[in-house]
Amino acid sequence: MKKKINLRKVITKTFRADSKIGKAPGTVIYQGMKGDGKYSVEIITYSEDSYEEKIIDNFNNGIPKTNGDKVCWINVRGLSKEKEIEKLGKSYNLIPLTMEDIVNTNSRPKVDEYPDYIFCIMKMFYLDEDYNEVMEHVSLVLTGNTVLLFQEAEHDVFEGVRDRLRNSYGRIRTRGADYLLFALIDAIIDQYFLISENLLMKIESLEDKIYREANQDTAIEIQRLKKEVLTVRKPIAPVKEMIKRLYNTNNSLVTEDTKVFLTDAMDHSIQIHENIELYREMSVHLMETYMSHMSNRMNEVMKVLTIMATIFIPLTFIVGVYGMNFEYMPELDERYAYFVVWGVMLFIFFALLIYFKRKRWL
């Protein structure tokens, strides 16, 4: 039996758009809804034979640099510390427009290529402990043997990548920073499958509800689901083009060996995109199904009312005739006229019921 997951609607973000009005392009101003001041930096440095992991809260002791065959993953959690992010960006020669996009959570997913680095923006989805959908802005920078990752909050979907690095599972510690970039992107895409499955479960649940106990609240739930599907579709749709651009890049930062793995990520992103498109169509059809079902129910009600009215029309006619105040009516002088009229009316009543039953109108 499938566990019922109660997903809430993805929160609509409110951005500090007014803070950007009149500012020069490239101004680093955080625009998002998680400006709670929490900020930390996780630094993982590794090679095939070594691994080091530490967490700091600022770069007062200098920006970490690696040499030789070691790869460095700098994971910045929290985008509201604009000065710290600007300091880190300048140390890796990131242009102001890149740093602006890092802290602007309204930026759409994309890939930008520069001589010294490759910049990617994605939206990371995951389910919290209450099975609520959470969407988070993630920026990745590949530069030399370092990958910079910027995310809004503390929680993420990269624990599997960390475990592979800590325990030297697979090939990740034997490859360069471009493979680490692929692994992080792949972890984000894998979570899209989970979100996709949850959307499908909600669609199937609503579809069953339409035929079982549809009411006015059902229409509201369908509208919420349609908006949720569109909210998920908007940041996921460009991902397949992002992966395609990374695969076709001539930048030396991405090796041919890593491009082989990018084809797998491209296949997954295409599959996710097709699923989301299918769910969007299904959510639209849900409303049509709901309206059709409600119309059928109304037709059933009207059919019963029409049949009842048809049955009582001849009875009403008889009652109307004998309700007229004429002095001379032959039947009024008969001893059993009252019972005869009742008998005739009951006969008509049951005769019509039998007729409607045989016609399968009842």
CATH of the domain at 328: 1.20.58.340
Could you give the CA distance from residue 76 to residue 149 in angstroms, rounded to a whole number?
6
Domain co-membership, 221 together with 345: no
Distance CA 19, CA 28 (A): 11
Whether the CB-CB separation of 152 and 136 falls below 8 Å is answered with yes
Question: Is the alpha carbon torsion for 265, 237, 96, 82 positive or negative?
Answer: negative
| pLDDT on residue 11 | 38
Shared domain check, 347 and 277: no
Taking only the tens of pLDDT, the chain with its 362 residues reads 344 444 433 333 444 555 565 566 777 788 877 666 688 899 999 998 889 999 988 777 777 777 778 999 999 998 888 888 888 888 899 999 999 999 998 888 999 999 899 999 999 998 777 666 788 999 999 998 999 999 988 888 999 999 999 998 888 999 999 999 999 999 999 999 999 998 899 898 888 888 887 777 888 888 888 888 888 899 999 999 999 999 999 999 999 999 999 999 999 999 999 999 999 998 888 888 888 877 877 888 888 888 888 888 888 888 888 787 777 777 777 778 888 888 888 888 888 888 888 877 77
| Residues 132, 180 within the same domain | yes
Question: How far is residue 235 from each of residues 32, 228, 240, 279, measured CA to CA in Å?
Answer: 16, 12, 11, 15
pTM of the model: 0.77
| 277-333 pLDDT tens trace | 999 998 888 888 888 877 877 888 888 888 888 888 888 888 888 787 777 777 777
Residues 6+ apart with CB under 8 A from 72: 43, 44, 45, 64, 65, 66, 145, 146, 147, 177
> Two tokens at 338?
């009252």
Residue 20: the pLDDT is 60
Answer yes or no: do 128 and 164 share one domain: yes
Residue 333 and residue 241 in one domain: no
Predicted pLDDT of residue 6: 43
> Looking at the domain assignment, is residue 2 inside a domain?
no
Cα–Cα distance, 147 to 139 (Å, whole number): 10
| Structural domain for 343, as ranges | 299-358
12 lies in a domain? no
The pLDDT score that the predictor gives to residue 3 is 42
Gyration radius (Cα) of the chain, Å: 34
Task: Verify that 265 and 317 share a domain, yes or no.
Answer: no
Which pLDDT belongs to residue 349?
Answer: 86
Do residue 78 and residue 223 come from a single domain? yes
Let me know whether 284 and 312 are in one domain: no
Same domain, 61 and 79: yes
Cα separations (Å) of 257 from 4, 87, 146, 175, 262?
42, 33, 18, 9, 9
**Gap between the Cα atoms of 136 and 151, Å rounded:** 7
DSSP letter, residue 68: T
The Cα diameter of the chain in Å comes to: 122
Report how many domains make up the chain.
2
User: Same structural domain for residues 183 and 249?
Assistant: yes
Alpha-carbon distance of 3 to 56, in angstroms, equals 39
Show which of 273, 292, 311 is a domain's final residue. Answer: 292
> Is the domain of 264 the same as that of 304?
no
**Domain CATH code at residue 155:** 3.30.460.20
